[in-house]
Amino acid sequence: MQNVINSVKGTALGFAGFLTPVLKESKFKETGVVTPIEFVIAGDHLVHTCPTWEWACGDECKTKSYLPKNKQYLITRNVPCVRRCKQIENCEVQENIVESEDGNEGWVETHHFDSAPSPLSEKISGISLEGNLNSLNVTSLNVDNHVLNSATNENPNVRNINVDTQKVCADDDDDDDEEEGDAVDMDAFVESGFLEDDSVTIHPEHTKSKKLSSSSVDEILKTRTYDLHITYDKFYQTPRLWLYGYNENQVPLSVEEMYEDVSQDYAKKTVTMESHPHVPGPSMASIHPCKHADIMKKLIQMVTDGGRDLGVHMYLIIFLKFVQSVIPTIDYDYTQNINL
């Protein structure tokens, strides 16, 4: 039922956006909205600050006349998403409440991960090279002796060659003082055909394909990736974030799988599946922009009260930071730090 309601709302807002005139006068500081020109300015600053983002043109038949043809929307690809939202929600080690120094309300640090080592790292740190060194040497020595004995027993030419493994560690001085026997006649060695005899070659047995144990498979980190788009919403006159995810095999995620990476407070409410305004194809998850202007207005007021000025070029950098609470496990924010 909720999907039907969202679909009807999306259709109505799309029609309303078509009728809404393009905002031309800046109202950024008064209401938190931006004009298409200001959106492009903020996008250029984001691309310059964080090169993982880039401008895209989109489908030619969906080009918006109020935006430059080569700057219709912003995109970043292959953004990692290691965890599901249910793994970090209501978990104290994943969230940290940061108190404000001036006594005002604090904020939540959503990527405060526990510094304790993971079970996998504990297993790695528990591996002792020295503890396995002796067994490794013994094994290799036993293999060498087995190879040598097998070759000696199977080939008469090799049986005639006396090899004393105990002499390997003899002092060099003894080798210089004593010469044991005559040197091997290489011409006779070649004529004997030993060089062409491959019977001493150790042929490995048929190797069966090894399969990972279930425990090993469980320890493999399966990482989803997302393509993120930022478009300009003409009706709300703010940026809008779109998501499309892939599993570790680059197969597109289902709708329900994408909702797993959205905070459950926002799934199917603030985040809904809708048609992309610039790209044809399947519906994409989108964070509804109805509250973006109000949030930005409050942030602008905070900066102003602190005696500073917030330029419109910083809009998208701040925008990406406050929408992180909706998709906390998608690690897309590599922009600069902001002190409000």
Residue 155 main-chain phi, psi, to 5 deg: -120, 120
Helix axes 315-322, 292-305, angle to 10 degrees: 110
Residue type, 304: T
The residue whose two tokens read 């998501």 is 243
Cα dihedral across residues 265, 52, 73, 38: positive or negative: positive
Q: Decide if 56 contacts 40 (C-beta within 8 A).
A: no
**Spatial distance between the Cα atoms of 27 and 35, rounded to a whole number of angstroms:** 8
Tell me the longest C-alpha to C-alpha distance in the chain.
104
Q: Decide if 340 contacts 258 (C-beta within 8 A).
A: no
Helix (H, G, I), strand (E, B), or coil: what is residue 40? helix
**Spatial distance between the Cα atoms of 35 and 232, rounded to a whole number of angstroms:** 9
HSE of 237 in the Cβ direction (CA atoms, 13 Å)? 19
Residues 6+ apart with CB under 8 A from 100: 106, 107
CB-CB neighbours of 92 under 10 Å: 9
Q: Which of 50, 85, 91, 290 is catalytic?
A: 290
CB-CB neighbours of 244 under 10 Å: 20
The answer to whether residue 169 is catalytic is: no
**Residues involved in catalysis:** 290
